[in-house]
Structure formats: structure tokens, C-alpha cells
Amino acid sequence: MDTLPHIAVVDDHQEIRELVARYLEQHGYQVTEGESAAAFLKLLETEVFDLVVLDIMMPGKDGFSLCRELRQFTQLPVIFLTAVAEDADRIIGLEIGADDYLTKPFNPRELLARIRAVLRRSQAGSQENRITVEHGTKLRFEDRVLDVTRQEVTGDDGVSIPLSSAEFRLLSVFLEHPGKVLSRDELLDLTSGREADVWDRSIDNQVSRLRKKIELDPKSPSLIKTFWGDGYCFTGTVSRA
């Protein structure tokens, strides 16, 4: 089940959620339902999604607001599925970062086709743009450069700061997954191969030490941000130096 694409369906109408979930599950997807923006944000604390099907008109935070919030730290594909059919709203949805926009009433087969198309584009883009931390390379993030061979970070002022092995592994993981919220468990998996205890809070300590070396103000970090519970997200722009 873990290898199936994981789709979130966020809609305050239970009938719509269940209809979409059943149909997608019949066609090979793992589906998790959320009845509101708040419920979906709570799910993000523990779940990793490949795409979200999102309603606009919901109690509390609406779909537009949730999409804007998501775009601050992730490129998770978003398809709006909504009764809001005005052209102006469709344009707004796409301008704030949605990948597609489908109005109700809808044909489940069309929704499935759009999901498949968006996932193909997303997967192709992630493979094309992904930067891997390899020996001999230098990676720039904001005004700093990581020298992978030397395992040190150099600022525009020319001052080099050496990293411990643990700090280097952690920074490497963040640079390979910019814009993605990574839970403590995921960071343990990616940095230590789950050799450490899953309840080990050493990740928090490592993040704190790494912030002191790469953040202008470690007490108010702008590169490694904390999101919802135990998640951390690297929000800087990464490129080859």
C-alpha cells in the first residue's frame, strides 16, 4: 500500500469525499479523506501525500487560503474540485498555484485523467530538477555554498564553517528535499537509516546545531522552519554553485 500514489481528498461534503475516495481506490490509489483545511493540515503532521483534491467553499479556512499556505513551503500538486464555476475564480485558483481546476458536477473519469496528468508532470519535473548531494559538487543555498568534499559551508564573506558528519548528513537531506516538510521519523530514516531509536530527539538537537551554523539568526530561522508538530522544512532555494 505504501508504494501506491497517496491522494488527499479535502471536502466538507462527506458524499463527495466518499465517492472520490472509492473511485480512486478502485483505480490503484491510496486515499485519505479530510473534512476541512484544519483536518488536512493535521494530517500533514504524519502523512506524506502525492496530490490533494481540494474543495474551495469549506467552513473555516477556504480552499484558496489553504492553497496559498501550502505554496509557502511545498510544491504538493493541488487540483481544485469545486462548485465555484466562475472564470474569475478559476483564474485565481491557477494563479495562486493550483495545478488544475475542475467544477462540480463532474465526471469521475475526467477527475482521474486530470490526476494522472498532474502526477506525470509532477514526477517528471521532480526528476528533472532534483539536485543530489554528490562527492565533488558544490551547492548554493541563498548566500551560502556547501562544499560536499570538504563538508563545510562558506558564506559570501569567504568564511568557511566546518560541519560535523551528522550536521552534513542532515543538511544534505534538506538540500535534496527543499520545500518539503520532513517529519522527525523521516529525517531519522534519511540521515541514519533508522539506526537510532525512533523516539530519539537527537534530530531536534542536530537541527538546532545546524541552524547555528547556517542561519543569520538561529533564534528566528529563515532557512530551516518548523511546521506543525514534529516537521521541519528547508525553505531556501538550492542550485549548483
Look up residue 230 and give its three cell numbers. Answer: 514534529
Peptide bond into 178 cis (omega under 30): no
Mean pLDDT throughout 57-79? Answer: 91
Q: Write out pLDDT tens, residues 158-214.
A: 999 999 988 999 999 999 888 888 888 778 877 765 444 444 457 888 899 999 999
Last residue of a domain, one of 79, 100, 129: 129
Q: Write out pLDDT tens, residues 34-50.
A: 999 999 999 988 888 99
Host domain of residue 165: 138-240
152 — phi, psi (to 5°)? -145, 155
Mean pLDDT throughout 102-130? Answer: 81
Compute the distance between CA of residue 168 and CA of residue 156 in angstroms, rounded to an integer. 19
CB 162 within 8 A of CB 176: no
Do 39 and 144 share a domain, yes or no? no
Read off the pTM.
Answer: 0.58
Do 115 and 144 share a domain, yes or no? no
Residue 46, SS3 per DSSP: coil
Write the burial class of residue 89 (CB in 10 Å: 0-12 exposed, 13-18 middle, 19+ buried). Answer: middle
Q: Write out pLDDT tens, residues 93-115.
A: 999 989 999 999 999 999 999 99
Compute the distance between CA of residue 22 and CA of residue 26 in angstroms, rounded to an integer. 6
Compute the distance between CA of residue 100 and CA of residue 226 in angstroms, rounded to an integer. 29
**1: in domain:** no
Q: Is the pLDDT of residue 235 over 60?
A: yes
**207: in domain:** yes
Query: Cα 71 from chain centroid?
Result: 9
Do 59 and 112 share a domain, yes or no? yes
